[in-house]
Amino acid sequence: MSTRPIADLVVPKAGQNVWLVTLSAAAMAFLAVFALALSMSAARLADSWAQALSETATVRIAAQPDEIEAQTAQVLEVLRTTPGIAAATVMAQSDQAALLEPWLGPDLPLDMLPLPRLIEVTEFGGGPDRQGLRLRLAAEAPGAVYDDHTRWRRPLVQAASRLQSFALLSLVLIGGVMTAIVTLAASVALSANRQVIRVLRLVGARDRFIARAFVRRISRRALAGAGVGTALGMAALLALPDPASAVPVLAGIGFHGLSWLWPLSIPALTFVLAWSSSMATAFHILRGVT
Amino acid sequence: MISLDAVSHDYGGGALFRDVTVQVEPGSFYFLTGPSGAGKSTFMKICYGELKPSSGSVTLLKRDLAAMSRDDLAGVRERIGVVHQDCSFLDHLTLAQNVALPLTATGRPISGSDLDDLMGWVGLTDRADAKPPTLSGGERQRAALARAIVAGPSVLLADEPTGNLDWEMSQRLLMLIIELNRMGTAVVIATHDLTLIRFAKAQVQARVMRIAGRKLQLAGAEL
Ligand SMILES: Nc1ncnc2c1ncn2[C@@H]1O[C@H](COP(=O)(O)OP(=O)(O)O)[C@@H](O)[C@H]1O
Ligand SMILES: [Mg+2]
């Protein structure tokens, strides 16, 4: 007869909170999978928006037909001497026509329209000093407007990182609720078993032994529940519609490649959380039971 | 082993006993008698630290009870075997598991054959897998004694260990306790059964303490 198995049994199994911990751990882990996915996707989204949009800009030149060539030359000269700009190319008329085709049709006499001239700019590093560049352009080529998409990029990136903060906050709240439930369950279990504690004390059991007997059971239930909840959460994510065909904003939600390993930390974290909070509760209560 | 110095106890309704000074030496054998309600169980509880006396000092295995932490007390109890008067068990464990509990709870190894021998000695071999709630009063007392001695304690404190037993079984258990005492265990048995005391005195050098009139007296040979 070895010591371990009985040490596991010294706390009676029955109790109203048998399923409380398992079920809540499952529910919380399920939610945590989504919060984690949301937080990672939001981070990725914010990154990719910031990146893709910050590397390109457009200069639009609207001027009288007789001035447009001169201004274009001046703008190109200004851009060439501005730090932070990798390349600037005047968009060919055919490309401009391709851009307009969906709206105006294919057989467009572009020459007849007072179209602005477009210069595609590729930035590098942090891009140019935009304020300074705008001032120089205003002086040299009054018809030129430097448009680096910042106006509409910023709120998007902001929204995405706000979304990420919410997701992280949700993870913290989920952890908090889990801690509260485990603490409650541990204190109910110990209070309902005062007689067991008395007998164990009588035969020389130390607080550590008694606490462990309770804590081990509660943490195991939390681990099992969190395992099931995490698996269900991951399955639910896998079952989401194919990202490519979905709305672009939703397309990112989920894990990709190695990031699928992240949700696996949820059961482990739940176990650690359950162990430490129920251990603290058990010691606190045992201090009061003689 | 256990020493009480000027100990008084009072549950709130007047002193139960006053100014008790006594020392239980290693290897000694004591009986504690007195009328029902005199405070025998109270005295025993003080001796294993379940109760702190209203005044006076208690030393258990050379350590001051008042200054002990809960873990210190647990360490002391590892070496004190106790038969509670109310014999409480863990009702969800089998009798054998309950008897082995002092070892399990302190991480000491359990020898299956020693456990079997012990269960045989107290006549509970057949009941080893029974749950405590299904036992008779006498069976509970025998199991409680087995649990108290399973870890080979330095001191055995038994509160009315034969109260529910027939004479034959009482004798048998007493012989087991006497055997233990011969091997060095100090013994204190609270009982009001004078026949039991006389029987023991024929086998072993036993002293008798008596609680009466709020005093603890060491009785002479008048029994
Ligand atoms: N926990 C307690 N609280 C208050 N009174 C108690 C308590 N335990 C015992 N008593 C009282 O103390 C007296 C002595 O009890 P006890 O020590 O059990 O005596 P004995 O074992 O000699 O019969 C009794 O009158 C009993 O009612
Ligand atoms: Mg009594």
Ion ligand 2: residue ranges with CB closer than 5 A: B 40-41, 85
Which atom of ligand 1 lies at the shortest distance from residue B40's CA? 22
Atom of ligand 1 lying closest to residue B45 CA: 17
Q: Is any atom of ligand 1 closer than 6 Å to the C-beta of B132?
A: no
pLDDT for res A243: 57
Statement to judge: residues A42 and A83 lie in one domain: no
The pLDDT value given to residue A54: 63
Token pair belonging to A72: 């274009």
Among chain B residues, the shortest Cα distance to A212 is held by: B105
Q: Considering the domain boundaries, does residue A148 fall inside one?
A: no
The mean-pLDDT minimum among A236-240, A263-267, B155-159, B189-193 falls in A236-240
Residue among B28, B40, B16, B55 nearest B156 (CA): B28
User: CB of A44 within 8 A of CB of A252?
Assistant: yes
Residues A217 and A187 in one domain: yes
Same domain for A35 and A106, yes or no, is no
**Which H or E run contains B188?**
strand B186-190
Q: Which domain holds residue B65?
A: 2-218
Provide the token pair at A73.
Answer: 């030359």
CA A279 to ligand 2 centroid distance, Å: 36
B51-55: long-range contacts (C-beta < 8 A, 24 or more apart)? Answer: B51/B9, B53/B4, B53/B7, B53/B8, B53/B9, B54/B8, B54/B9, B54/B10, B54/B15, B55/B6, B55/B7, B55/B8
Model confidence at A158: pLDDT above 60? yes
**Is there a domain that residue B223 lies in?**
no
Q: What is the CATH number of the domain that holds B18?
A: 3.40.50.300
Query: Are both A138 and A246 inside the same structural domain?
Result: no
Contact A29, A266 (CB under 8 A): yes
Q: Are residues A24 and A162 in the same domain?
A: yes
Reported confidence tier of residue B95, pLDDT bands at 50, 70, 90: very high
Distance, CA of B193 to chain centre: 15
| Tally of structural domains, chain B | 1
Spell out the residues 6+ positions from residue B76 whose beta carbon is closer than 8 angstroms to its own: A204, B49, B60, B61, B63, B68
Query: Considering the domain boundaries, does residue B30 fall inside one?
Result: yes
The ligand 1 atom at the shortest distance from the C-alpha of residue B85 is 21
- Does the beta carbon of A284 lie under 8 angstroms from any beta carbon of chain B? no
Is B34 a domain residue? yes
Q: What percent of chain B has pLDDT over 90?
A: 74
What is the number of structural domains in chain A?
2
Lowest pLDDT segment from A130-139, B66-75, B171-180: A130-139
Give a yes or no: residue B198 inside a domain: yes
Under a CB-based contact definition with an 8 Å cutoff, are residues B68 and B58 in contact? no
In the predicted model, is pLDDT for residue A189 greater than 80?
yes
Q: Whose CA is nearest to atom 18 of ligand 1?
A: B41
- Beta-ladder partners of B2: B24, B60
The two structure tokens encoding residue A162: 């706000």
Would residue A74 count as lying in a domain?
A: yes
pLDDT at A35 (0 to 100): 93
What is the C-alpha to C-alpha distance for residues A181 and B11, in angstroms, rounded to an integer? 39
What residues make up the domain containing A118? 63-142
pLDDT of residue A1: 45
Chain A 26-55, residues with CB within 8 Å of chain B CB atoms? none
pLDDT over 50 (residue B147): yes
Model confidence pLDDT, tens digit, residues A45-74: 888 777 666 677 888 888 888 888 888 888
Domain C-terminal end among A104, A119, A142? A142
B112 touches chain A (CB under 8 A): yes
- Please indicate if any CB of chain B lies within 8 Å of the CB of A3: yes
The band of B54, judged by pLDDT with boundaries at 50, 70 and 90, is: very high
Instruction: Verify whether the Cβ–Cβ distance A9 to B147 is below 8 Å.
Output: no
ipTM of the complex: 0.90
Which residues make beta-bridge pairs with A121?
A57, A88
Token reading at A147: 């448009």
Judged by a CB distance cut-off of 8 A, whether residue A232 touches chain B is no
Look up residue A179 and give its two tokens: 């801690």
* Residue A38 domain flag: yes
